[in-house]
A and B are shown apart, each in its own frame.
Chain A
């Protein structure tokens, strides 16, 4: 018979604990504090929970914001700012748990569940935050799983101990010891779910540029913000002019102008293109502006700027994670011009005049439209297969019906000759009339003039506009877009039927930098009524 190995002191201690003898030192320390009447059982849990939640937010930002991971100063600053935000909810949750602990009939089980829930919350903050900010996720994003997982485990243990101690102090009843392995199982499950989520957004490989079928007719896309064709404005001249085109419509939603127009320009929802707000935020001490992840928006966007602890930076093309139709067209070899669109920026093969160049010099809607059209007409003379302009005048003048009607009138005057040329087959004219501040029941419209086609109206989705424009240009549709071309809007047989798997991710050209702050431009947006 072989003799059993002699246990070391540590092994003996560990085995005796498993047999129910020695208490863990942490528990004794915690219980001693509680039983001594000083209270505060949940204080360690609040501190650990605050730090764990902040770590999750930082992990999400680092995964979704290029360059942040390489800036320790930004990471440290964001961590401190978010930790300040998380302290309040952590304290609130601890208060609720303390009340539950006092009422719990099965404190051991309830404590385990509370710890489990706390760990789950950390994983949710990390996963949802990362998923919301990043379109494509690299393997490096998964490395954050290690500190986040450890923080979740530590928090679970702290919450469980605090719950037991509080219940213990209140009732005097000794709870049954819970199986701590449940936390390891929870951590493993959380990591598995996070990894599965991440692999569903694995960084896409760069795709080859789509090869367009030749089309001889150029296209002009006029994007008119605030042209309320069906609501209170109802500009008669515009209605009369546009009545001859083929129309697609969709129920309008109240969203920020960059989000509305970027969805129309990319064929995917904001969940994928990433442009939601007019600005990003830079916490004091950080060297870069960031988009706040889920759960921290209220603090970083609302409270901190009000307290002077953070500044806003305007939205830019660096925030957009999906290709716009002029970028796809340019990559496909079609000469493209874009003037005045939100979140636009330099792109190889395209002439791009960004939003700031138009709005920065304007003092009102009329000036903005005039600047956009002058720049558009000047650039367009060089000859383009695709030329697009964004006109914000009607939206800026929404509080003044007279000036708004005047702005609409000038746009009609500008469009009229283009409609005439389109009717003669010299070009394809696409007018996108959407309103980022729609009245109830308002709709967005795309009106197409493509030869002498008879008018008709169909219901479409905003995400269908981008693939429809590209298909009419002869560019094969990417199957991973959320929208599809609508052939009924164009002349028969002119819409490209071929498809490609994807256009690939949008990788900003080298040298493109997101503006970190631009007080002057933000003040301009504020004076034009975009920012309150």
Chain B
């Protein structure tokens, strides 16, 4: 199981979420150390969500990050246990962090719990599984993805700001940034699933073709326009946070999403 956990956590992913956590903390004038534990916890939660997402009872994916999916390599039972262990470890890290203030520990725990729970990944995944492709419109898709993928990205960014002791105005501005980037990321994901290269993506492509997604509802051209506008809006939302040099990494993250090919 330890090896399985190690594979789940250290497989070659983009580490977009923990990077967003650290960049958010930096934008809010914090030393990285205060947000490191939050960044690690966010990545643990994300890893757990990927393990669960690939299970036969969910998306039944065979490959993840260029490797066999965890349940393929270690069996479904082990994969399920790894997911639970990763979630537990995430909360353990935050709750026991010596770098975070007591108030920050409680608040980040609440943020991550919300991102994992019914209003977050779990609820979004359930809605995704239950969705009828033919009857899912833009609102339904937004609702699914705001919870399934967006909630954790928002929690990652907010967690970094909370760890840094940012004010409510800054946290609100960063939340606006994260929501826009999160949705842009998901639309890009759908576009890549439609048009992407499996080898470069490191996972099965075309698996979501039977599902309702942004690419099928809006068409590729409109999706690309929306991604551009969402990322413009995310960068504009950073302006109240502070000087451009402090938010440069967050702005770069938005650029990465725009140029994403995998």
The residues in A between 1 and 20 inclusive whose CB is less than 8 angstroms from any CB of B are 1-9, 11-13, 15-16, 19-20
Interface contact tally, CB-CB below 8 A: 83
> Size of chain B's interface in residues, with CB distance under 8 A?
34
- Determine whether A116 belongs to the interface, using a CB cutoff of 8 Å to chain B: no
Smallest distance from the beta carbon of A29 to chain B beta carbons, Å? 10
Q: Is the beta-carbon distance between B226 and A13 smaller than 8 angstroms?
A: yes
The residues in B between 126 and 156 inclusive whose CB is less than 8 angstroms from any CB of A are 132, 134-140, 142
Smallest distance from the beta carbon of A15 to chain B beta carbons, Å? 6
Known contacts A1-B134, A1-B135, A174-B176; A168/B240 CB under 8 A: yes
B168-190 near A? 1/0 per residue, CB < 8 Å = 11101100100110010000000
For A15, give the chain B residue with the smallest CB separation.
Answer: B138
For A8, give the chain B residue with the smallest CB separation.
Answer: B222
B228-250 near A? 1/0 per residue, CB < 8 Å = 01101100110111100000000
Contacts of B167 in A (CB 8 A): 172-173
Give the docked Cα–Cα distance between A423 and B172 (Å). 91
For B221, give the chain A residue with the smallest CB separation.
Answer: A9
A contact face: mostly helix, strand, loop, or mixed = loop
Give the docked Cα–Cα distance between A354 and B136 (Å). 82
B contact face: mostly helix, strand, loop, or mixed = helix
For B139, give the chain A residue with the smallest CB separation.
Answer: A15
Q: Is the beta-carbon distance between A174 and B172 smaller than 8 angstroms?
A: yes
- Determine whether B200 belongs to the interface, using a CB cutoff of 8 Å to chain A: no
Q: Which of A8, A22, A28 has the most CB of B within 10 A?
A: A22
- Determine whether B217 belongs to the interface, using a CB cutoff of 8 Å to chain A: yes
Taking a contact as CB atoms closer than 8 A, the residue among A12, A15, A28 that contacts B236 in the complex is A28
Q: Is the beta-carbon distance between B239 and A32 smaller than 8 angstroms?
A: yes
Contacts of A15 in B (CB 8 A): 138-139, 142
Taking a contact as CB atoms closer than 8 A, the residue among A12, A28, A35, A171 that contacts B233 in the complex is A28
Taking a contact as CB atoms closer than 8 A, the residue among A9, A20, A32, A168 that contacts B226 in the complex is A9
Contact-residue size bin, chain A (C-beta under 8 Å from the other chain): 20 to 34
- Determine whether A31 belongs to the interface, using a CB cutoff of 8 Å to chain B: yes
Taking a contact as CB atoms closer than 8 A, the residue among B137, B138, B169, B179 that contacts A173 in the complex is B169
- Determine whether B225 belongs to the interface, using a CB cutoff of 8 Å to chain A: yes
For A174, give the chain B residue with the smallest CB separation.
Answer: B172
Q: Which of B132, B172, B236, B241 has the most CB of A within 10 A?
A: B236
Known contacts A7-B218, A21-B183; A171/B169 CB under 8 A: yes
Q: Is the beta-carbon distance between A9 and B218 smaller than 8 angstroms?
A: yes
Smallest distance from the beta carbon of A531 to chain B beta carbons, Å? 58
Binding site for A on B (CB under 8 A): 132, 134-140, 142, 167-170, 172-173, 176, 179-180, 183, 217-218, 222, 225-226, 229-230, 232-233, 236-237, 239-242
Binding site for B on A (CB under 8 A): 1-9, 11-13, 15-16, 19-23, 28, 31-32, 35, 168-169, 171-174
